[in-house]
Each structure stands twice: as C-alpha cells, then as structure tokens.
C-alpha cells in the first residue's frame, strides 16, 4: 500500500474550472502552460475532460453569483483524494473585479484551497511551479 501511494504522485491529472474568469488565466493555462513548449506531461500530468477523472483542480476567476453553486457541484464531483489550486489573483481577492456586484466570495470561503498562484495573469513558469507544489501535496495525501 505504501509503495502504491508513492506512485500516485507521479500521475496527477488536471481539471480546469472557470469560475467567471476573464479568460486571461485560462489562455495562460490552456495555451501557454500546457502546450509542448512548457510540457507538464513530463510530470505525468494529463488534462482530463471529466471531473470524475481529476486529481488536481485548477480554478480560475472570481466566484460570480451565477457560477457559485455550479463550481461547488463540479468540485464535489471530483473523487478524493484531491488538491485545489487557485490560479490568478481573482480567486484570492477578486482582482480587477473586487468591487463588482457580481462577486460573491473568495474561493477559500467556498472550498479548501491548497495552493495559490497569484498574478494577473500568472506567468506559465509560476503556474507550473504551482502545479509541482500541488503534486507534492497530492502525493502526501494518497
């Protein structure tokens, strides 16, 4: 069992949730951090299309009133053990949207956040560092 859990950290699958983001962080995630140039597949990562396959959840954007419940229900679909990474400054404080009427709460009031990657948007290197940090946490949790 011990040996099995040491393998788990080598295969973290990523899932993205856009919680009302302006798409800046999503572009950084999808086209910069995960394209061949930066290659997180070398860490064993793989984007998965279904939340049921995910290990590490990447959440971007402020939590707007429209998506709050949906974010929570998709987050609850992810089977345990899981790790949450907040990408960008929006999930922390709301960023440029902080005084908006559509903002409800910061991400850590909604779900437990393990790693914060601040930036507007964060650099690809920062995102990869955040994912590497999350992989360590995932390995210790399983």
- The strand order across the sheet containing 115-117 reads 46-47, 13-18, 56-60, 83-87, 115-117
Token pair 């069992």: residue: 1
Q: Specify the stretch interacting with other proteins by CB under 8 A; choose among 5-13, 24-32, 57-65, 112-120.
A: 5-13
Q: How far is the CB of 95 from other proteins (least distance, A)?
A: 28
Q: Pattern 35-54, binding to other proteins, x per CB under 8 A? A: -x--x-xx-x-xxxxx-xx-
Residues 57-76 that bind other proteins (CB under 8 A): none
- For other proteins, the closer of residues 42 and 99 by Cβ is 42
- For other proteins, the closer of residues 47 and 118 by Cβ is 47
DSSP state at residue 106: -
* DSSP helix/strand/coil, 30: helix
d(CA 101, CA 117): 24
Q: How far is the CB of 134 from other proteins (least distance, A)?
A: 14
DSSP state at residue 47: E
119 forms part of the interface with other proteins (CB under 8 A): no
Token pair 């299309």: residue: 49
* DSSP helix/strand/coil, 67: coil
- Phi/psi for 65 (5° steps) reads -60, -35
Q: Specify the stretch interacting with other proteins by CB under 8 A; choose among 7-15, 60-68, 94-102, 122-130.
A: 7-15
List contacts with other proteins (CB under 8 A): 4-5, 7-8, 10-12, 36, 39, 41-42, 44, 46-50, 52-53, 55, 77, 79-81, 142
């Amino acid at each position: 069992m011990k040996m099995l859990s040491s393998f788990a950290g080598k295969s973290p699958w990523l899932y993205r949730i856009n919680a009302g983001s302006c798409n800046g962080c999503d572009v950084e995630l999808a086209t910069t951090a995960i394209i061949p140039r930066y290659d997180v597949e070398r860490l064993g990562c793989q984007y998965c299309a279904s939340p049921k396959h995910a290990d590490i959840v990447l959440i971007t954007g402020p939590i707007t009133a429209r998506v709050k419940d949906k974010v929570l229900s998709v987050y609850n679909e992810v089977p345990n053990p899981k790790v949450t990474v907040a990408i960008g400054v929006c999930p922390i404080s709301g960023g440029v949207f902080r005084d908006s009427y559509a903002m409800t709460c910061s991400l850590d009031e909604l779900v437990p956040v393990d790693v914060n990657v601040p930036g507007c948007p964060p650099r690809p290197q920062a995102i990869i560092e955040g994912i590497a940090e999350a992989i360590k946490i995932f390995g210790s949790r399983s």
